[in-house]
Amino acid sequence: MTTSAPTTKIGFAEMLKGGVIMDVVNTEHARIAEQAGACAVMALERVPAQIRKEGGVARASDPAMIRAIQSAVSIPVMAKCRIGHFIEAQILEALAVDFVDESEVLTPADPDLHIDKHAFRVPFVCGCRNLGEALRRIAEGASLIRTKGEAGTGDIVEAVRHLRAIRTEMRRLTMMGPEELVNEAKRLGAPLDLVARVAKEGKLPVPQFAAGGIATPADASLCMALGAESVFVGSGIFLSEDAPKRARAVVLATTHWRDPARLAEISTGLGEAMRGTQVSSLPDDARLASRGV
Amino acid sequence: MRIGILALQGAFDAHARACEKLGHRTTEIRKVSDLEGIEGLILPGGESSTQLRLLDEAGLAAPLATRIESGIPVLATCAGAILLAREVRSPTQWSFGLLDCTITRNAYGRQLDSLETVSDDGRVPLVFIRAPRIDSVGSRVEVLATYQGSPVLVRQGAITAATFHPELSADLSPLGGVWTSEHPDRNLMGRRGGKEGDEL
């Protein structure tokens, strides 16, 4: 009998496909998310837009709030740890969270290295901007990959950039001959065995979700159309005018992304979306996506 | 065979891959018109609470129930089995009531308690992910495999339901016979060999 082998870790990520994982900061939000049809919640003390605004060092959440959210809902509960902070990850595993997000949204703890995720029984999700980053995280043991996007902005442009980069690089790989793969692995900075696997199968060996800047149902559908298999929504729901309505709409738009007539209905009368910040107006040091590459 | 996979949320993709390996064509079901022309139906794992809300919004619950009651072969795994059960616990929630059993959600714990193991008789590979437990079954339900004494694979008429994920196992042979109308349970449990019917 094996607990939490790759089959059950990646298998759990399969169960989350076609769904929406919502950032929640308290039990009230968690219940709204569950009621709206979220397939999981991410428990954290401040949503990315608040972290961006308030500044300071962003760390893993107080176990008390994570426990409270775990008892408030029946759906899976995820939580974030800082990049490279394996002790925070051990604490989250001790709390029996269902997934750990080693996240660039929190202030990185290690300037160079990510966590050795193979050493954990709890599965990990990590962010990436391109295929090389995705494969490095998978090599470290991530069971699920998401785009980084630019969290807390409500601007979808970076998530789109990252989804397109991954798709283009995967397509390139599928057209290469075996003699080209070693150089390509070197260029991507990724292990050859994973590069060869993507070249053969044309997709990542773990599910691929989108995150960072999703603020409308149409944003969620756009990510799905560009190859994402589910979406994470951070600030976009609970910083909008009518969170329950928007949460439900994003859930519907993630399932029915191929149906524009349905999306027109879904997008109607949701109240104001989060105001947001244009990514192009951000100075380089305010960009979270360049953390932990 | 053309198998419709309910694709509102969950492991529809994993089931599609398994079906393709077994030589079946698949179609994703997200709206009522997608049900046309299917010869088999899969209700995949995922979050049952999410799937319920999406079923309701898509107006799919009644047409699906009619289709299942008409006797189309159905494979329901994990959340799919929860959707079909007569009674759901922890928490109580709506279900189709077409499978005569009571089922408890997340009965084995959280993701850390997910595991790969084998059935009590050692014959069926089991991948459990935040799995539900079937607490009791009615007389119309045949129990095909158990784990720690609880039913994990059951059949009632054309419905086959599993609390585990056969579609995630490296060995897909337990799925091979689900769609065969003749002696379905013998095909499903092909590896029971001479011991068929013994201790279950």
Across the interface, of A34, A36, A122, the residue whose CB is closest to B111 is A122
pLDDT beyond 50 at B191: no
Name residues 27-46 of chain B within 8 A of A (Cβ). 30-31, 45-46
Question: Is the pLDDT higher at B122 or at B187?
Answer: B122
What is the ipTM, given to two decimal places? 0.94
Q: Is there a contact between A15 and B53 if contact means CB atoms under 8 Å apart?
A: no
Q: By the CB < 8 Å criterion, does A36 face chain B?
A: yes
Structural domain includes residue B73: yes
pLDDT beyond 50 at A161: yes
pLDDT beyond 90 at A2: no
Concatenate the DSSP letters of all residues of chain B into one string.
Answer: -EEEEE-SSSTHHHHHHHHHHTT-EEEEESSGGGGTT-SEEEE--S-HHHHHHHHHHTT-HHHHHHHHHTT--EEEETHHHHHHEEEEESS-------EEEEEETTTT-SGGG-EEEE-TTS-SEEEESS--EEEEE-TTPEEEEEETTEEEEEEETTEEEESS-GGGSS--GGGTTTT-SSSHHHHHTGGGGGGTTS--
pLDDT at B82: 98
pLDDT at A213: 97
Task: Please give the residue range of the domain that contains residue B58.
Answer: 2-179
pLDDT at A46: 93
Give the chain A residue nearest B118 (alpha carbons): A1
Structural domain includes residue B71: yes
Question: Is the pLDDT higher at B173 or at B191?
Answer: B173
Q: Is there a contact between B115 and A256 if contact means CB atoms under 8 Å apart?
A: no
pLDDT at B177: 74
pLDDT at B196: 35
Structural domain includes residue B165: yes
Concatenate the DSSP letters of all residues of B40-65 into one string.
Answer: EEEE--S-HHHHHHHHHHTT-HHHHH
pLDDT beyond 90 at B197: no
Q: By the CB < 8 Å criterion, does A172 face chain B?
A: no
Please report, as a single letter, which amino acid is at residue A160. V
Encode pLDDT of A97-120 as tens digits.
999 999 999 999 999 999 999 999
B4 to chain A, closest Cα gap in Å: 16
Q: State the pTM of this model.
A: 0.94
Structural domain includes residue B134: yes
Structural domain includes residue B186: no
Structural domain includes residue B192: no
Q: By the CB < 8 Å criterion, does B151 face chain A?
A: no
Of B165, B183, B196, B199, catalytic: B165
B182 to chain A, closest Cα gap in Å: 31
Give the whole-number percent of chain B exceeding pLDDT 70: 90
Q: Is there a contact between A4 and B115 if contact means CB atoms under 8 Å apart?
A: yes
What mean pLDDT comes out for the span B156-163? 96
Q: By the CB < 8 Å criterion, does A40 face chain B?
A: yes
Report chain B's mean pLDDT, rounded to a whole number.
90
pLDDT at A4: 57
pLDDT-derived band at B179 (thresholds 50, 70, 90) equals confident
**Is B15 among the catalytic positions?**
no
Structural domain count of chain B: 1
pLDDT beyond 80 at A275: yes
Question: Active-site residue numbers of A?
Answer: 80
**Is B167 among the catalytic positions?**
yes
Rounded CA-CA distance A12/A194 in Å is: 21
CATH number at residue B124: 3.40.50.880
pLDDT-derived band at B184 (thresholds 50, 70, 90) equals very low
Q: By the CB < 8 Å criterion, does A91 face chain B?
A: no
Encode pLDDT of B70-111 as tens digits.
999 999 999 999 999 999 999 999 999 999 999 999 999 999
